[in-house]
Amino acid sequence: MKKIVFATNNAHKLDELRRMAGDRFEILSLKDIRCFDDIPENETTFEGNALAKARWVRDRYGYDCLADDSGLEVDALDGAPGVLSARFAAEHDDAANNKLLLAKLQGVPAQKRTARFRTAICLLEGDAEPRFFSGAVEGRILDAPRGEGGFGYDPLFVADGYTRTFAETSAAEKDAVSHRGRAVRALLHYLHAE
């Protein structure tokens, strides 16, 4: 069976992809290949970071690899936090990041609080050129958090056409419209057609 490393330490993302990938290929984790590196993510675009992570693993460990990078782009903040989404206020501190986002948007009226989540996935197979799969979901940022589910900026984000935040929807409902759901479906469509 074809083996592909998914360069993430996020167990939730790994499980999700394994569930969706079926039995055509084996998705290996970084732990499975004994990669415990602190892989740098210093690029200025989601695609750049996804490529850097996939290359790191392919070049050092020799496996076909895929990697993803995502974040939130807020129009009133010129696209911030963008690639800095995970460390906007403090590294992987969702509450602090959400608080900072609300502070920066204080006084910005509802119609100007437009935003989107974006995901880029990079696939490196053999010597082929890198292949990218992307997904986005448009929406807006509320002025107070709502809901207990999800992670990151989910309690502040309402997708266009919806009234509930991503923290108030089920995981399946979120996957159906989310940036990551869309990018993963595009990746799987490609892999299954290969």
Dist. CA 105–CA 102, nearest whole Å: 5
* Per CB under 6 A, 181 contacts ligand IMP: no
Least separation in angstroms between residue 152's CB and ligand IMP is 2
Instruction: Using CB under 6 A, pick the residue from 17, 30, 56, 69 that binds ligand IMP.
Output: 69
Which residue is closest to ligand IMP by CB? 152
* Per CB under 6 A, 155 contacts ligand IMP: no
Dist. CA 180–CA 159, nearest whole Å: 13
Question: Which residues carry out catalysis?
Answer: 69
Would you give the binding string for ligand IMP spanning residues 110-139, x where CB under 6 A is met? Answer: -------x----------------------
* Per CB under 6 A, 151 contacts ligand IMP: yes
Q: At what angle do helices 179-193 and 11-21 cross, to 10 degrees?
A: 40
Enumerate binding residues for ligand IMP (CB under 6 A): 69-72, 85-86, 97, 117, 150-154, 166, 178, 180
